[in-house]
Amino acid sequence: MEGFESGLTWEVRANDRKHHKQMKSFLCFRWGRYADNLVRSYKYSPLTFLPLTLFEQFQRAAYLYFLLMVVMQSVPDISSVPFYITIFPLLIVLSVRGLKDLANDMARRRSDSEINSRPCDVLDSQSFNRAQWKDVCVGDVLRIHKDQVIPADLLVLCSSEPHSLCYVETADIDGECNLKFRQALSATHNQLTSHPSEETLAAFDGVVLCEEPNNRLYTFRGQMHWRGESLLLDNEHILLRGTVLRNTDFAYGLTIYTGADSKVLRNCGKLRVKRTRMERVFNQVVIGIVLSVLLAALLLAIGAGVFSSWVMSHIGPTSALVINGNPVYTGFLIFWSYIILLSPAMPIALYISFEVIHMVHSLFIGWDMEMYWQQANRPAQARNTSLNEELGQVGYLLSDKTGTLTQNRLLFRQCCIAGEVYGDASSKAEDTEPMDLSWNPFSCGGLFMSAPSLVQKLRGQQCPISCQFLRALSVCHTVMAIWKEEAPVYQAASPDEEALVGAARELGWVFLSRTRDFIVVSELGVTREYRLLALLDFTSHRRRMSVLVREPEGGLKLYCKGADLVILERLQKDCLHQERTERALELFSQACLRTLCVAVRSVPEASWEQWSKTLDQSATMVTSDRDALLEKLYDQMEIDLQLIGVTAIEDRLQEGVHETIALLQQAGIKVWVLTGDKKETAVNIGYSCKLLDPDTRLLEWQELKQILQSPDPGVTFFKARQTELWAVDKQAAEAKTALVLTGPELAEFDQKPEWGATFMRLAEQCQSVLCCRVTPGQKADIVSLVRKHTRSITMSIGDGANDVNMIKTAHVGVGLAGVEGGQAVQNADFALSQFRFLQRLLLVHGRWSYRRISFFLRYFLFKTCSFALVHIWFGFFNGFSAQSLYETWFIALYSLFYTAFPIMCLAFFEQDVNAESSLKWPELYRSGQRQELSSPLILISSLLYAVYSSLVFFFIPFGVFHNTAYDFQTMAVTVAMAATFTANAEISLVTRYWTRWNVAAVCVSVVLFFICSRVTQSTRLFKASPMDYFFLGASERAFIDPLVWLTALLTTWTAVLPSMTALAINVILNMHDKHKVHSASSQPVELRSRLTRGASLRRSSYALSQGAGPGRLISSGTCIRSTVLTVNEQVTADNNSTDSQLQINMKNNIDAPNHT
């Protein structure tokens, strides 16, 4: 078949379930070519839970190691320590973790089944039956109702709307809230809507050939073979899973991709287990410890072999104990015994404590009042409880724009009419005094502008130019009005237009409805009909749109609105108010408002007639240069404009966005914006949220590509930055540069992987990077790029389903819950309600967590190694016999009772500076990024410290007890006492924040040592089990012996002396550092050159999600149904339909990003 040659190998036969349900099966496993529509994000089934969870857990090398220890400890010949010392903690850890995983999995299962059981209507021979999402199968015909989420990727067959248009909201896919339209093929539209739909749909037997399932959201290639015809399909005919049908009563679709094959799920990325970097470093250290233990054990075993051969050469009481008389075999057994004896150097308690600490830190995040958002009644939430310390090390923050930085609410804040500025944008939108608009029956709020003088002027009809301004706003647009409850509801492809038309409504110029030829506007209660003669549509190149209308009075008017630059160059000479208006433009752009110029022209009848003739001619042309021709023609009409005014729209930022970004940048975090939105919008937002400074130079793709291609990118980049800035602003000593990229440009990185490293090197020197029009997959690719080429921790933040992939890819993913909880939150590691909470999450919780966990790991290494390594030194004085220097119970209780509480308290409560100071001095955050507290060097130094302490633990008591009448048990108690004292003294040195819990913990630990020692060495327990409690009476005597106390005291002090000295030297040197921090906090006022704010810095933007506006649909009348079409019109409409079809196809050719 021809389809195979062009790569269209995915065959879908409508209404043919059998074909698609062919399954291969083997045992209980089944697979087929076509996935079913089930979402499975869970991992376990009742049968597989136990093996899987054990498998997963034992993938941690540490657990395997402990298991090995347990096994070895139960072999009597080598057991130097009884087995119950390890097995109970191990069992506890395994079951706690297992239960935690199980609970998480249950939650996933619930959410899966919630999604899988959503209802939808499936055509089942002649009639639609209510079924669940999971029952949907490739080839099924579905009926989608208004506001329903689409369950699978569908081909639109027909809809309730004229021309089988349907509108979808793709917020969950690309984060854009405006509506997009999709349309059925004219063939299916004509054939399937003309008859009662169930029967015709059931009889539909088209065969679709298309691409294999892929993750490209914006393209689709396919063919439909039906009734001998072969029709081309593209993205415009596809409804994607996860989008929502809007403004369309119902639509019928043929299922193309289901479940895991659907484009959204293909974009989701894999669920991966995130491990923190510190955990990895720590695991390496643990492996190092294990290897050292093995080495030590080996050397000691050799010693044991030599010793036993020496013993055997003599006759003595011990010689008979050397097993079998073979030194090699003895050495072999001793090797294992020493491994067991030294294993407490890496205790299992570490892993339990690590988890508990992470959990408590996560709870603290959830408990933080400052991160609780009253409006949504939602506290912050740590969904992944094992990443807390990474929050303190973030180097790159990759943020989504819509819904994350912005609220996706556009507000009409100011305007300038005839040089007069109305409204005040310096105050917050909420603080503006609401105007009294009760005279306007259509007013329904939402205007955050206080300009009573304007209202007065308008109502008094004293100022014709103001009226004209509002008329322009209410007429010149492509918005549709839908009547709901006696009021028009506006549906716009561009949120800007919606804001403008809405503002006009509030001020009395109410756009009521539009038909193909008329626009009906109520002007201060007077209904006027404007005949729409031509709609000169928006394109990203023209950056303006106009309407040509005949006024009820008969005059011809052209209303035009567009970007300031393009409008200003088309004005009449000596236009009134131009100078003042330009000043207003500057004012608005300084307030980071999006501006549009509004202009008008009275068109002479004669020129209109001539122009319209040429227009008709060129409109019928079907050549490729038609667009160019049209553009030229439009240009001819849009001349001699008369400037009326300027609108200023605020793209509402989330609260506190620019403070947060400024703070994070001070903390050394690079903030990047990744958005599916247009470049202009993204750059505008970049400026308004202070991510870019007004004098930041934007480096775009053309230049960047040159730099990347040049042999020495660094130099070229530097030069480019330098020279340009030299020209623009000679005073800018420090160059500020930002990169701006778009999705298709990023796609080129796939072919040139070597660019990645260079790009990242450049990006590191830039203030920020903005990536626009990127797909969810690309967002994730960017995150991977950063991860690959830097050693920094990356954090992604987003709110929509389009951010899920990047949230999963980054080291740490944050989901914004926003107004409604979304998909992002489901997949995020942390869920916040507001972007500004990020500063607290990172600078306070993250930094604390990082410090606490760093201290925790270092201290834990120290306390366990120092106490366990003593056995190495003792080995030299007991014939390398793997004799323990401690009572068995001391080994068991040491890491549990005698040392655990203080470090846990430290890990819970420690603060070097309080939350306020953390936010005040964001520079403090940098120590986390540089890993100052957790570098391998630091960990190794604490290991060396532990080795030193273990030497002290052994050799000072050795010196004291050598050649005396003191017995082994007294020495054991002395060393144990010294070890406990040291562990508690060391934690006291580390603790800087002594809550009463910390004090209690240290006291309790020491007291517990005395109590537990007395208990395990008591008569009663000895009588119960002499073998296990054989230290009877040792501590009873030792604790009253001054020599024991003096020895323990000296040992403790000597052991902590290095730490004490380091602390003291730190204190002495730190006076200097503290001074630095203080001076750094008062940064010099940034010098911003006002001069550079020239006209070129004005930011005018007209945001539309797609390249061209929907004007053509309006002018062709395809999407208008608010008025009943006459028979004649219907005919014309039908005739036009082929035309519009064509136009749409052409448009797609322009729009579709080329993903080859």
Stretch 301-340 residues interacting with other proteins (CB under 8 A): 311, 314-318, 320-323, 337
Report how many residues bind other proteins under the rule CB under 8 A. Answer: 86
Q: Which residues contact 293 (CB under 8 A, 6 or more apart)?
A: 339, 342, 343, 345, 346
Stretch 1085-1114 residues interacting with other proteins (CB under 8 A): none
Residue 1147 CA to residue 1082 CA, distance in Å, equals 54
For Cα atoms 871, 874, 876, give the angle at the middle one, nearest 5 degrees: 120
Long-range contacts of 1037-1040 (CB under 8 A, 24+ apart): 1037/970, 1038/969, 1038/970, 1038/973, 1038/974, 1038/977, 1039/973, 1039/1010, 1039/1013, 1039/1014
Asked if 1063 interacts with other proteins (CB under 8 A), we say yes
Choice from 22, 125, 374, 623 touching other proteins (CB under 8 A): 374
Per-position DSSP letters for 664-711, written without gaps between them: HHHTT-EEEEE-SS-HHHHHHHHHHTTSS-TTPEEE-HHHHHHHHHSS
Asked if 1015 interacts with other proteins (CB under 8 A), we say no
CB 738 within 8 A of CB 697: yes
Stretch 193-252 residues interacting with other proteins (CB under 8 A): none
Residue 740 CA to residue 1107 CA, distance in Å, equals 18
Residue 926 CA to residue 937 CA, distance in Å, equals 18
Q: For the chain, what's the residue count?
A: 1156
Asked if 1071 interacts with other proteins (CB under 8 A), we say yes
Choice from 489, 1069, 1142, 1150 touching other proteins (CB under 8 A): 1069
Choice from 151, 162, 269, 379 touching other proteins (CB under 8 A): 379
720: amino acid identity, one letter: A
Q: How far is the CB of 1061 from other proteins (least distance, A)?
A: 6
Kindly provide the b/e burial profile for residues 809-829, where b requires at least 16 CB atoms within 10 angstroms of the residue's own CB: bbbbbbbbbbeebbbbbbbbb
Choice from 385, 478, 494, 881 touching other proteins (CB under 8 A): 881
Residue 303 CA to residue 1081 CA, distance in Å, equals 59
Asked if 46 interacts with other proteins (CB under 8 A), we say no
Kindly provide the b/e burial profile for residues 318-357, where b requires at least 16 CB atoms within 10 angstroms of the residue's own CB: eeeebeeeebeebbebbbbbbbbbbbbbbbbbbbbbbbeb
Q: What is the DSSP letter of 1125?
A: P
CB nearer to other proteins: pick between 47 and 369: 369
CB 227 within 8 A of CB 7: no
420: amino acid identity, one letter: E
Choice from 367, 439, 483, 726 touching other proteins (CB under 8 A): 367
CB nearer to other proteins: pick between 866 and 970: 970
Stretch 861-880 residues interacting with other proteins (CB under 8 A): 877-879
Q: How far is the CB of 837 from other proteins (least distance, A)?
A: 13
CB nearer to other proteins: pick between 645 and 818: 818
Kindly provide the b/e burial profile for residues 524-549, where b requires at least 16 CB atoms within 10 angstroms of the residue's own CB: eeeebbbebbbbbbbbeebbbbbbbb
Q: Which stretch binds other proteins (CB under 8 A): 86-94, 681-689, 917-925, 955-963?
A: 955-963
Asked if 965 interacts with other proteins (CB under 8 A), we say yes
Residue 152 CA to residue 260 CA, distance in Å, equals 10
Asked if 733 interacts with other proteins (CB under 8 A), we say no
Give me the sheet containing 221-226, strands edge to edge: 10-13, 207-210, 221-226, 229-234
Asked if 1067 interacts with other proteins (CB under 8 A), we say yes
Choice from 1061, 1089, 1130, 1138 touching other proteins (CB under 8 A): 1061
Choice from 91, 99, 1024, 1065 touching other proteins (CB under 8 A): 1065
Stretch 969-1008 residues interacting with other proteins (CB under 8 A): 969-972, 992-998
Choice from 623, 963, 1096, 1156 touching other proteins (CB under 8 A): 963
CB nearer to other proteins: pick between 444 and 999: 999
Choice from 214, 883, 1092, 1122 touching other proteins (CB under 8 A): 883
Among residues 1044, 1067, 1073, which one has the least CA distance to residue 989?
1067
Choice from 1054, 1059, 1118, 1137 touching other proteins (CB under 8 A): 1054
Q: At what angle do helices 327-342 and 61-73 cross, to 10 degrees?
A: 130
**Token representation of residue 1087:** 């010098």
Choice from 195, 719, 962, 1076 touching other proteins (CB under 8 A): 962
**Token representation of residue 704:** 């960047």
CB nearer to other proteins: pick between 235 and 883: 883
Q: How far is the CB of 879 from other proteins (least distance, A)?
A: 5
Choice from 270, 272, 1072, 1090 touching other proteins (CB under 8 A): 1072
What's the farthest any 2 CA atoms get from each other in the chain? 130
Choice from 587, 1050, 1077, 1125 touching other proteins (CB under 8 A): 1050
CB nearer to other proteins: pick between 41 and 995: 995
Stretch 117-146 residues interacting with other proteins (CB under 8 A): none
Asked if 99 interacts with other proteins (CB under 8 A), we say no
Catalytic residue check, 172: no
- C-alpha count within 13 angstroms, C-beta hemisphere, residue 680: 18
CB 980 within 8 A of CB 899: yes
Torsion of CA 528, 529, 535, 537, to 10 degrees: 40
CB nearer to other proteins: pick between 1032 and 1125: 1032
Stretch 506-535 residues interacting with other proteins (CB under 8 A): none
Among residues 663, 519, 617, 638, which one has the least CA distance to residue 569?
638
Q: How far is the CB of 813 from other proteins (least distance, A)?
A: 22
Q: Which stretch binds other proteins (CB under 8 A): 271-279, 366-374, 412-420, 746-754?
A: 366-374
Choice from 540, 911, 917, 1081 touching other proteins (CB under 8 A): 911
Asked if 909 interacts with other proteins (CB under 8 A), we say yes
Question: Which residues are 238's β-sheet partners?
Answer: 155
Q: How far is the CB of 925 from other proteins (least distance, A)?
A: 17
Q: Which stretch binds other proteins (CB under 8 A): 8-16, 61-69, 688-696, 1043-1051?
A: 1043-1051
Q: How far is the CB of 1072 from other proteins (least distance, A)?
A: 6
Q: How far is the CB of 1050 from other proteins (least distance, A)?
A: 6
Asked if 833 interacts with other proteins (CB under 8 A), we say no
Q: Which stretch binds other proteins (CB under 8 A): 282-290, 435-443, 731-739, 1018-1026?
A: 1018-1026
Sign of CA dihedral 678, 681, 686, 689: negative
User: What kind and span of H or E run contains 653?
Assistant: strand 642-653
Choice from 1030, 1132, 1153, 1155 touching other proteins (CB under 8 A): 1030
Q: What is the DSSP letter of 433?
A: P
- C-alpha count within 13 angstroms, C-beta hemisphere, residue 588: 35
Out of 36, 105, 400, 496, pick the active-site residue.
400
Q: How far is the CB of 160 from other proteins (least distance, A)?
A: 38
Q: What is the DSSP letter of 1087?
A: P
Q: How far is the CB of 969 from other proteins (least distance, A)?
A: 8
Choice from 82, 366, 656, 668 touching other proteins (CB under 8 A): 366
Asked if 75 interacts with other proteins (CB under 8 A), we say no
- Number of CB atoms found within 10 A of residue 456's CB: 11
Asked if 1040 interacts with other proteins (CB under 8 A), we say no
Choice from 966, 981, 1009, 1102 touching other proteins (CB under 8 A): 966
CB nearer to other proteins: pick between 24 and 996: 996
Give the Å distances, CA to CA, from 211 to 39, 242, 918, 1028.
22, 20, 53, 71
CB nearer to other proteins: pick between 441 and 1033: 1033
Mind telling me the catalytic residues? 400
